[in-house]
Amino acid sequence: MAVEPLPPTETTAVAPGTQITHPDGRVELRDFSTIADSRYFNEELAPVPIEKRTWNTYNFAALWIGMAHNIPTYLLAAGLIQLGMNWVQAFLTITLGNLLVLIPMLLNSHAGTKYGIPFPVFARAFYGVRGANLAALLRAFIACGWFGIQTWIGGEAIYAIAGKLLGSWWVDAAQVMDHPWTLWASFLFFWVIEMAIIWRGMDTLRRFENWAAPFVIVVAVALLIWVLVQAGGLGPILSEPSKLGWGADFWKLFAPSLMGMIAFWATLSLNIPDFTRFGGSQRQQAYGQVLGLPTTMSFFAILSILITSGTAIIYGEAIWDPIQLAAKFENPLVVALGLFTVVVATLSVNVAANTVSPAYDFSNAAPRLISFRTGGLITGVLGILIQPWRLVQDPNIYIFVWLGFYGGLLGAVAGVLIAGYWVRNRTRLLLPALYRPEGRYWFSGGWNWAAIVASLVGAVLAVGGAYSAPGKGPFPSDGLIPFLKPLYDYSWVVGLIAGFLVYLALSMPAASHAKGENV
């Protein structure tokens, strides 16, 4: 394996294709001439030049505010209420989950800001230049599912707005595949809006997030005030008892629910370099995320919990879908405002969280053929083919099947990345080698089998025991692999720890062999 030269600083002579380390620790590759002809390179996957790393603390906080204040976040909290938790239990579960997922989020953010590279290129350092496609495409296909879910929700909101304005002919239109054709038309219209935004690029996304984030907060608070007035204040809501108590019934639900809360952002904990590669400094991206993720997720969760609990008092049943709640208002302008907010909230998260990453991931699979824009279009098409309307029909499917299963898979990948970047490589990467065949990160034919095996072991341990309560999901009640069933309730943690430890154990011989090399 060829040994690359030690990266120079700004004060040393710089040969073509050599990376530069700046005083603040960020690393740059100014000259792409030695890698531009590689089939593993294109302009979107290239390291971002220092002068284009302009995102500040507010940009990152606004990104998270925009992504956190969305309907699936609302459904997370509302779903826990519907499953039997009271407001304290639901809030505790969601807040703890977001504090835990912030840890791998910040650990993986570092590489994006330091080297200006997106997630699939970062993964090449540990999975191999070719093997990174395994981690990237796994992340991409899950993002396609999320993209579809969010697009369906946005389409429902447009359908409801139009129904209030156009009347019964729109709402009661002829059925196609168990839904009115007008709902399908709304779904496709929302899809086109999203594709238009992603086609215009990352700077359009940043500007959209900056104004969408505060708008959604204001309207959500207004809805809470209305619910409090109608329900007679906070007292009746906060006094609602838990259907589970604090005994065995609660703790049995708590563990898989906590994994679901973590899994909600486990996707972003992998591909967060796609955004932090534009960061002006490590401090700005870290502060922005700490201010943006746990605080706004907890704030929006408490809004959702109080609103959903209030609907149980007002209407006699907990309404966990905010679109159905908004449709209950009589004033068409109020309904239109509420549902327009749903549209804005859904756009803000779906384009950022579920289109940017797979666009890079698909581009990484064939850099010469698939651009960032083409990758975004592929995401949109697959998001429809996944049939998202089936995933959001039941909170059991949404939280325990969808979130719980993929959280375990992605936990294993996160474990490999954290072990490789922070423990084995000590945050040191060689940028040119990430784009070259036969270089340091080529390993064996472009694959690092230590990372592949660690991911597979972590995934099997995490989700091999996947189970569903009778009639509540697709898995057998005694688990796919019965003796692994107890681990499934802790799927993300099991995957993370197993991937971390197995990768380090398998890569130790290589680390010993490479002693004395720069990385």
Angle subtended at Cα 228 by Cα 226 and Cα 233, rounded to the nearest 5 degrees:
150
Give the list of residues 6+ apart from residue 65 with CB closer than 8 angstroms, or none. 209, 213, 214, 216, 217, 292, 296
Q: Which helix (H) or strand (E) holds 180?
A: strand 179-180
What tens-digit pLDDT sequence spans the chain (519 residues)? 333 444 544 444 556 668 889 999 999 988 888 888 888 998 888 999 999 999 999 889 888 877 777 677 777 777 777 777 777 888 888 889 889 989 999 999 999 999 999 999 999 999 999 999 999 888 888 888 888 888 888 888 788 878 877 778 888 888 888 889 999 999 888 888 888 777 765 555 556 656 666 777 777 788 788 778 877 777 666 666 667 777 778 888 888 888 878 877 888 888 899 899 999 999 999 999 999 888 888 887 787 777 777 777 777 776 766 667 766 776 777 777 776 777 777 777 777 667 777 877 888 888 878 877 788 888 888 888 877 777 666 655 665 676 678 888 999 999 999 999 999 999 999 999 999 988 899 999 999 999 999 999 999 999 999 887 777 667 888 888 999 999 988 888 999 999 999 999 998 765 544 444 444
b/e per residue, 412-451, with b = 16+ CB within 10 A?
bbbbbbbbbbeebbeebbbbbbbbbeebbbbbeebbbebb
Q: Whose CA is closest to 360, among 186, 170, 60, 140? A: 140
Note the residue count of the chain.
Answer: 519
Give the 3-state secondary structure of 462-509: HHCCCCCCCCCCCCCCCCCCHHHHHHHCCHHHHHHHHHHHHHHHHHHH
d(CA 239, CA 49): 55
Which domains occur in the chain, in start order?
25-507 (1.10.4160.10)
Q: Whose CA is closest to 66, among 200, 217, 204? A: 217
Cα 346 to Cα 75, 285, 339, 485: the distances in Å are 13, 23, 10, 35
Burial of 213 (0-12, 13-18, 19+ CB in 10 A): buried
d(CA 318, CA 134): 41
Around Cβ 241, how many Cβ atoms within 10 Å?
Answer: 7
At 361 the three-state DSSP class reads helix
